[in-house]
Structure 1
Amino acid sequence: MTGKCTVTGGGGFIGAYLVRRLVHDGWDVTVVDNMVRGDASRFADVADSVRLHSCDVRDGEAVAEAIRGNDVVFHLAAINGTENFYKRPELVLDVGLRGALAVVEACRDTGVPDLVVASSAEVYQTPATVPTDENVALMLPDSLNPRYSYGGSKIVSELIAFNYAQDHFRKVQVFRPHNVYGPDMGWKHVVPQFILRALACEERGSRTFSIQGDGSETRAFAYVEDVVGGILTMYARGDHRQVYHIGNDEEVSIRRLVELTGETIGIALDIEPGPEAAGGTPRRCPDISKMRAIGYDPQIALAEGLARTTDWYRDNRNIAPANELM
């Protein structure tokens, strides 16, 4: 399946992997990204085959110009990273909400028939059931906690996609990625932060590794190439006006993630529990039965994906912000 498409946020982590995969599969690809957080070097190997519109996703006229004549828009542009949720909630909300409106209206005005929107596992916060399927109620537990700026923006983005778009599109889909990781994912996420801190422990000859909480929290980490494959499987085989979980169902505790990180590097870390972060979620693991039913099957186990990711961060740690190495 090929055609003409745009990826908003194509300089971001998942977006760039998606851009590269689309180009390799034969798509005609445009990227919309102002590169404030994204980086065009992430898709440098296919840059000659990509049209880049360096515009803000909130600029509806610029977005409309970029997507005119497309078969589908993959809307991934957002301000991600847990640190940003706490420190820059206004920007997280502004880009999330106004970006979704601008993209949906631009698609509608230019006649783009298909729209794929990236949501997040953050829409559940603390889900009532784990593993969590797509029918569990979405939750915003505390509007005073800035952490929920991101989850709240994604809930509204889903509403915008499905309701503004219901009479104007051939296919509208939302995917909720769960804890995606991999090489070159940035510096403000748990996996790269753990890797860099473990590498610093190795360098200093120290084994003490402090964490938030006692490490019993669980997540199910999904390797980025599996997730990109899932997005394209969903688009090709999934239904109109549907939500799909894309991730892995291999649940692991944060304590075990630290242990695996140390094992990958070759050191045994002494885990030191600390205060829990406000708004943390005890367990997160998706039920991916709906995706499995249309042919999705993640291939990269955590140990393998963590090894690949560690190799990249070991080789590129010189470009990490100084405070990430502490």
Structure 2
Amino acid sequence: MGKKYLITGGLGFIGKAITLSLLSKNNTVIIADNNFRKKKNDLKHKNLYVHKIDVRKKNQLIKISKDIDSVIHLAFINGTNYFYEKPELVLEVGIKGIINLIEVCKENFIKEFFLASSSEVYQNAPYIPTNEKVPLSIPDPHNPRYSYAAGKLISEIMLLNSSIFERLLIFRPHNIYGPNMGYNHVIPEIILKIFKSNQKINIQGKGLNSRSFCYIDDFVSAFNLILKKGKHKNIYNIGTQEEIRIRDLVKRIISISEKKLHIQNTKEILGNVKRRCPDILKLKKLGFKPKNNLNIGLAKTFEWYSKDIKGEL
């Protein structure tokens, strides 16, 4: 007999992947998602129930949370453009959402909770690779860029100081990517630019900032290990340590496309982090071994997006 999970934001890229994994193991999944991005729901399963609910609406959350064994909280407004353009909304969803969910768990006696935090909480970390113990801060409260990170930090602190959970775990994903993740993320954005251009592709600054990327299938494997073996009130990075400069990432995707494009530098947005790469030793101790290196993951992702852009899907 499986468990009954409530997944907020379950129609998003990561949410769908977790949902499909849980359903394959005979669990029941209740999704609460207001479909902010207006994405088509193509998830169908006898043990899946999808409700169009905003996490800011506590009464609606209470109604669908009866007999829930565990909550996986993913619902947040992600995408750098939203951080700059709608910081109030980003913070409102983040803070009201976590307050409501803690109260819902208390009222409905839900004792297990998994929070999707973010690599954004690290900002310009003092050392790379960065482990889960590095001090966290908001570099500039006037910069709306940090609205998302602030919401994640507040969520972590509220949960870690709550006494109602018997099992609470926080995971910090680092640049998860793969097919069908939308177009508001760096890799799909690059792929789209490549398809639209015949001469050049613009990048922010000189593209010297570096990131590490984790393919979606490896993320799911990591999450399942945390689900099964993670310890109460522990925090786990999820990602890989295959770090690459954005300029080199663009070159690699251009190579996959077999097009000949010139890279054009443009003005860099204030607040961009220079380097981000997680220390995943804690995750490895649970048994994590990524199977898709960047070349493999990019090839799979490019193939899917090339079909989507051409209207073949």
What secondary structure, in the 3-state scheme, does the structure 2 residue paired with 1:273 have? strand
1:18 equivalent in structure 2: 18
Q: Partners in 2 of 1:160 and 1:71 — Cα distance?
A: 20
The question of 1:237 aligning with 2:235 is answered: no
Counterpart check, 1:227 vs 2:201? no
Q: Secondary structure at the match of 1:51?
A: strand
Instruction: For residue 90 of structure 1, report the CA deviation from its aligned partner.
Output: 0.9
Alignment of 1:282-297 (within 5 A): 282-297=274-289
Provide closer, same or farther for how the CA distance between residues 293 and 38 of structure 1 changes in structure 2, counting only shifts above 3 A: farther
Give the 5 Å matches for 1:179-194: 179-194=175-190
Alignment match of 1:211 (pick from 195, 203, 210): 203
TM-score (norm 1): 0.92
SS of 2:222's equivalent in the other structure is helix
Corresponding residue to 1:177 among 164, 173, 180: 173
Aligned to 1:260: 252
Q: Which runs of 5+ in 2 are unaligned?
A: none
CA distance in 2, matches of 1:302, 1:15: 22
Instruction: Determine the structure 2 residue equivalent to 1:39.
Output: 39
Which residue is 1:281 aligned to?
273
Q: Which moved more, 1:58-67 or 1:235-244?
A: 58-67
Match of 2:125 in 1: 127
| Partners of 1:10 and 1:38 within 8 A in 2 | no
- Supply the distance in 2 between the matched residues of 1:9 and 1:80 (Cα, whole angstroms): 11
How high is the TM-score relative to the length of structure 2?
0.96
1:106 alignment partner in structure 2: 104
Query: Where do 5+ consecutive residues of structure 1 fail to align?
Result: 320-326
1:322 maps to what in 2?
A: none
| CA positional deviation for 1:158 | 0.4
Structure 1 residue 38 displacement after superposition? 5.5
Contact 2:240 2:280 in 1 (8 A): yes
Q: CA deviation at 1:174?
A: 0.6
Which structure has the highest helix share of the two? 1
2:56 to 58, 62, 66: 58
Q: 1:93 — aligned with what?
A: 91
Tell whether the 8 Å contact from 2:27 to 2:47 is kept in structure 1 after alignment.
Answer: no
CA RMSD of the aligned region, Å?
1.4
One-letter amino acid of the structure 2 residue matched with residue 13 of structure 1:
F
Give, as a single letter, the amino acid of the residue that structure 2 aligns with 1:120.
S
Cα contact 2:18–2:220 (8 A) shared by 1: yes
SS at match of 1:147: helix
For 2:68 and 2:216, locate their aligned partners in 1 and report how far apart those are by CA, in whole Å: 25
Which residue of structure 1 aligns with residue 298 of structure 2? 306
State the distance in 2 between where 1:24 and 1:266 align: 37
Q: Quick one: distance in 1 between partners of 2:259 and 2:196? A: 11
**C-alpha deviation, 1:98, in angstroms:** 0.5
SS in 1 for 2:35: coil
Q: Which residue of 1 aligns with 2:149?
A: 151
Partner SS state of residue 268, structure 1:
coil
Tell me which moved more, 226-235 or 125-134: 226-235
Per the TM alignment, residue 40 of structure 1 is displaced from its structure 2 partner at its CA by 4.8
What per-residue deviation string (whole Å, max 9, x for no partner) do you get for residues 217-246 of structure 1?
A: 100011112112211211210100111001
Residue 248, structure 1, aligned to residue 240, structure 2:
yes
How far apart are residue 269 of structure 1 and its match? 2.8
Contact persistence 1:259–1:268 (CA under 8 A): no
Distance 1:156 1:225 in 2: 29
Structure 1 residue matching 2:204: 3-state secondary structure: coil
Percent identity over paired residues = 38
Supply the AA of the counterpart residue of 2:20.
R
